[in-house]
Amino acid sequence: SLTLVLSLFVTAIFIVLALKPTITSIVTLRKTIAESEKILQKLDSKVKNLETAASALEIAKPYLSTLNLDIPNQGANYSPLTFAVENLALQSGTTIESESLGSTLLFSRILSPFSPNRKQGVVALPFSVRVSGSYGGVSMFLKNLLTMERVISIDSVTLSKEVSSKNETSQVALNITGNAYYLADEAQLKQALDSSKGGK
């Protein structure tokens, strides 16, 4: 009968209305679970990357102190470099006639270009040195300079003959120019150097 049909129709409408929030909640819950699974996968990947990085750091730790001597990370390290060059001259029996190092930042209260961060890069520190002595002595000096602990590169080497006025013995002079290297944030370093120049 019509009454029964209407009754069933109204009942169906109420059932649908009653189930709609539940269905919506189930769909929302499934989306949330799917998003949570994606987040968990990303976190799991990050954890694995961190574990790999930690393992790599453990392997590298014994070499960090040596690496810091090769390419300093706390500034240009003028004093150890000049001391090393002077020691090489002493070992090779040569005399340092002149020595110069390029300018860099020694200290800043505002900027910290030497603090370790992702922006740190290798910065060149120009240097030049002139030594005199016997040919064997200056050859040894050059060889030892190239193999010393501090990483350097040589731009030019010139050799000239000299005569000592004391005993008229023949000597040679060796002129070397090149670069030593250190780690720094180049943008901050440039800003600090520009500020110091502007303040003069």
- 93 with 165, same domain: the answer is yes
Is the pTM higher than 0.95?
A: no
Q: Look up the domain containing 1 and give its range.
A: 1-70
Q: Considering its fold, how many domains does the chain have in total?
A: 2
- 1 with 89, same domain: the answer is no
- 35 with 85, same domain: the answer is no
DSSP assignment string, the chain: -HHHHHHHHHHHHHHHHHHHHHHHHHHHHHHHHHHHHHHHHHHHHHHHHHHHHHHHHHHHHHHHHHHHHHS-SSS--HHHHHHHHHHHHHHHT-EEEEEEE-------SS--TTS--TTEEEEEEEEEEEEEE-HHHHHHHHHHHHHSSS-EEEEEEEEEEEE-TTT--EEEEEEEEEEEEEEEEHHHHHHHHHHHHHT-
pLDDT tens, position by position, for the chain (200 residues)? 666 666 666 676 666 656 566 667 777 777 888 888 888 888 888 888 878 877 776 776 666 666 667 888 777 888 889 999 999 999 999 999 999 988 776 555 555 666 677 777 888 889 999 999 999 999 999 999 999 989 999 999 999 987 655 555 678 999 999 999 988 877 777 776 666 555 54
